[in-house]
Structure 1
Amino acid sequence: MAQTRTRRLRNVRKSGQNRIYHRWGVCGRAPSTSHTPPNKIHFAFKREVVSIENLESTAVTNTAENTTESTVGTVRVKRGMAEQLKGGVIMDVVTPEQAKIAEDAGAVAVMALERVPADIRKDGGVARMSDPEMIEGIINAVSIPVMAKVRIGHFVEAQVLQALEVDFIDESEVLTPADETNHINKWDFTVPFVCGATNLGEALRRIAEGAALIRSKGEAGTGNVVEAVRHMRQITSEIRRLTQLDDAELFAAAKELRAPYELVREVAREGKLPVPLFSAGGVATPADAALMRQLGAESVFVGSGIFKSGDPAKRAKAIVEATTAYDDPHTIARVSRGLGEAMVGINLDELDASQRYAGRGW
C-alpha cells in the first residue's frame, strides 16, 4: 500500500542513522498548460527524497529563530508545507476519478471525503471521518498532497489519518463535532493541521493548539460566498487593528481575543498571521475565487462548487486560472465563459442556526 509509494510525502521512513524524509520541492511547470494565464507562473509540486544530513545542510542556522532542526513534525516543517500551497486551489473530491480531474486541472491539493458539504447538508445525520479505504484510493490515484477531515475534538480519527499517511488533517466544522469543549491538541501530531476560523481570536486559538494553516470558514455546501467574504474581512480587519495598538493595549487585546499574548504581539508586529490564511466555504465560480484572493486569501478551498456543477473539469480549470490571475479581470472574464450550469446555491436566510456549520468550534 502506502509503503511502496515513494513519490508521496511521508512522515518518517527509518533506516538506522540515515532516516529518509520526503519533502516537497517546487518546479516552475504547471501540470498542464491549457489553463496557465499569460505572463503567470503556476507552481506545481514534485516529490523529493532526501537524507536527514541533506535536510540539515540546507537549513538556515545563522539566526536563533531558525536553529530548530528541520525534521518532520516540527513547527517549521509543518508551516513550510502549508506555505507551498499558497496561490493555488484545494478541491474536495469523493472518488479517485474526481481526484485525477482535480490534479489535471492544476489543483495544488485535494480533500478526500465521502460526501461533499452540499450532500452532507442534504442527507443530514452524523457526519464522520471518511472510510480509510476510500482515502487510500485517492492517495494512490494522485501525486499531489491529499487532505482529509476529522471531527472537531476527535483525536482518534486524527490518529487514524496520520497512520494512513495523509498530508494534512482538517479539523472541520463540516463534520459533526465530537467534543463540545476541546479541540484536538495538534502538537501531538507530526501531520500538519488545517483549521477554520470566523475571526482573529478563533484563528489564534487554533494556532496556539498547533494548527499550521488557517482557512476562513464561510458556509460550506451553500454555493454562497457571502459568509466567506464576511469571515475574511473580519479576520483581516482585526489584524489591521492590532498593528495600530501599543504594547500596553495589546494585553487588553489578547484578553478580548482570548488568545495568547505572544501570538497577539507577533501578529501586531508582522501585520499577518504566523501561518498561511486561506479561504473556504461557498466558492462556486472563478469570480468567487478571485474575490477571495483580492480580499486577502492566499489560496482557496473549493468544495461542492466544482463537482456539483454542470461541467466539473472545465470549471475546475477555470477556478485554478482565476485563482492564479486573480487581479486580471480580462483573464477572469475569459475563463468564466461557457462553464455550464453552476451548482444550485442556498440562500442563507433559509438556514436556521442548527444548519449553520460556521458556528461550530470555539
Structure 2
Amino acid sequence: MKKRPVWNVGSQKEAAFDLQKGSFEVKIELAEMLKGGVVMDVTTTEEAKIAEDAGAVAVLVANKLSSDLRSDGGISRMTSPELIEKIQEAVSIPVIAKCRIGHFVEAKILEALFVDFIDESEILTPADEDHYIDKHQFRIPFVSGCRDLNEALRRIAEGAVLIRTRGEAGSGNISEAVRHLRTMRRQIKSLAFLDTMELMNEARKMGAPYRLLKQVADTGKLPVPQFAAGGIATPADAALMMCLGAESVFVGSVIFSSKNPSILAKSIVKAVANCYNPETLAEISMGRFEDVRGKEVGILDSDESF
C-alpha cells in the first residue's frame, strides 16, 4: 500500500489532499512547515535515515548526488519510483522528489507515488525549457529554482509554493547562491519606490502578473517561502544563507561525500538554528573543513554548470 504524504494528517489536511487540486493557500502552508530547517539530498535509505536522525526537516531523493551528476554526464531523469517508495518507508519526515523541467508526466507519476513535494529541477536534463509545468493542476506542492525576482514570480504564477536559489549544486561553492539571494533582496527593496503605473510597467517587463508584483512591493517579501540551495558545504555556509534572508537551506552532495556524514549533517542543522550566534558556530565548525571539497564556479565547463 502506497504511503500518503507525511504532512497529510488530521481531518483538515486529509480533506485538502482529497481535493482534485490542492488549494494554493494550503500548499503554501505545507511549505511553511519546512522553514527554519535543512533539506538534505539523499540517494539511499541509509542516507535518508542519517538525515532524519540529524534533524533534517525533509529529504530530497535523487538517483545520484549533484557532484556525481557533474562527473558522470549523460541524461538525468526523474527520481526512481522504487527508490522513492523505499525511502518513504524508511523515514517519517517529508520526502521530496525531482522531475525534469516541463515533464508533466513525470510529475504525475510522482504525485501518484504520494511524495510530499515535487521539485521541478534544473539539475536534471530539461524536457521542455520553454514550457514549465502548470503546477496548479497538481494537488502536490511544487518547489522551483530561481536566480532573480523575475524568475521567482514566473514560477510562483505557475503554481510553485517554495522558491529556492539556483546555485551551482554539487560544486561546494556558494557564490552563485549568494548572488541570487542578494539580487532578490535588491530587486524587492527597489519596488518600494515605484508607484502604481511604474509597478505595472515593471510587471510587463518581467513577464510576471501585476498582482504578484504588487503583493511583493507591499509586503517586502515573496508570497511563498524562499530557501537557499547550491554549493552549501559547511556549517558557516548554511548560517550565511540564513543571515542573507533564506528561510531554510537545501544541502546536497557535500554531506554524503564527506568522511563522517552524520557529524557534518548534525553540524549544519545546528548552524541553521544558531546562525546569529558566532560562538556556537565556531564550536560546531571545529574539524568540519578537513574533508569538504569544492570547485571554482568560474572554471566549470559549460556541460558541468547547472
- Common fold, TM-score beyond 0.5? yes
- 1:8 and 2:6 aligned: yes
Q: Which residue of 2 aligns with 1:25?
A: none
Q: Which residue of 1 aligns with 2:29?
A: 80
Q: Structure 2 length as normaliser, TM-score? A: 0.95
Match of 1:94 among 38, 43, 47: 43
- 1:291 and 2:212 aligned: no
In 1, distance between residues paired with 2:218 and 2:200?
Answer: 14
Which residue identity is paired with 1:110?
A: V
Q: Does structure 2 conserve the Cα–Cα contact (< 8 Å) formed by 1:311 and 1:341? A: no
Q: 4+ residue stretches of structure 1 with deviation over 6 A?
A: none
Give the match's secondary structure for 2:79: coil
Structure ranking higher on relative contact order (CA contacts 8 Å, 6+ apart): 2
Deviation at 1:273, TM superposition (A): 0.4
Q: Which residue of 1 aligns with 2:176?
A: 227
Q: Does structure 1 conserve the Cα–Cα contact (< 8 Å) formed by 2:5 and 2:115? A: no
Q: Which residue of 2 aligns with 1:49?
A: 10
Deviation at 1:107, TM superposition (A): 0.2
- 1:338 and 2:299 aligned: no
In 1, distance between residues paired with 2:289 and 2:262?
Answer: 11
Deviation at 1:167, TM superposition (A): 0.1
Which residue identity is paired with 2:11?
A: V
Query: 1:242-257 to 2 correspondence within 5 Å?
Result: 242-257=191-206
Q: Which consecutive unaligned segments of at least 5 residues does structure 1 have? A: 10-21, 23-47, 57-69, 358-362
Give the match's secondary structure for 1:212: strand
Alpha carbons of 1:81 and 1:72: their partners in 2 closer, same or farther (altered >3 Å)?
farther
Which residue identity is paired with 1:112?
A: V
Which residue identity is paired with 1:353?
A: S
Alpha carbons of 1:340 and 1:267: their partners in 2 closer, same or farther (altered >3 Å)?
closer
Q: Does structure 1 conserve the Cα–Cα contact (< 8 Å) formed by 2:21 and 2:136? A: no
Deviation at 1:200, TM superposition (A): 0.3
Give the match's secondary structure for 1:256: helix
In 2, distance between residues paired with 1:296 and 1:145?
Answer: 23
Cα deviation per residue 1:25-62 (whole Å; 9 max; x = unaligned)? xxxxxxxxxxxxxxxxxxxxxxx33268x979xxxxxx
Q: Structure 1 length as normaliser, TM-score? A: 0.81
Give the match's secondary structure for 1:201: helix
In 2, distance between residues paired with 1:353 and 1:240?
Answer: 33
In 2, distance between residues paired with 1:290 and 1:183?
Answer: 31
Which residue identity is paired with 2:6?
A: R
Q: Does structure 2 conserve the Cα–Cα contact (< 8 Å) formed by 1:162 and 1:191? A: yes
In 1, distance between residues paired with 2:5 and 2:150?
Answer: 38
Which residue identity is paired with 2:298?
A: D
Q: Does structure 2 conserve the Cα–Cα contact (< 8 Å) formed by 1:305 and 1:342? A: no
Which residue identity is paired with 1:50?
A: S
Give the match's secondary structure for 1:355: coil
| Identical columns (%) | 55
In 2, distance between residues paired with 1:7 and 1:186?
Answer: 17
Query: 1:1-362 to 2 correspondence within 5 Å?
Result: 1-2=1-2, 5=3, 8-9=6-7, 22=8, 48-50=9-11, 73-339=22-288, 341-357=290-306
In 2, distance between residues paired with 1:83 and 1:71?
Answer: 22
Q: Does structure 1 conserve the Cα–Cα contact (< 8 Å) formed by 2:21 and 2:137? A: no
In 2, distance between residues paired with 1:122 and 1:116?
Answer: 10
Q: Does structure 1 conserve the Cα–Cα contact (< 8 Å) formed by 2:162 and 2:224? A: yes
Which residue identity is paired with 1:90?
A: V
Give the match's secondary structure for 2:172: coil
Q: Does structure 1 conserve the Cα–Cα contact (< 8 Å) formed by 2:172 and 2:233? A: yes
Give the match's secondary structure for 1:181: coil
Deviation at 1:252, TM superposition (A): 1.6
Instruction: State the Cα RMSD in Å.
Output: 1.9
Deviation at 1:72, TM superposition (A): 6.8
> Which structure carries more helix by proportion?
2
Deviation at 1:309, TM superposition (A): 1.3
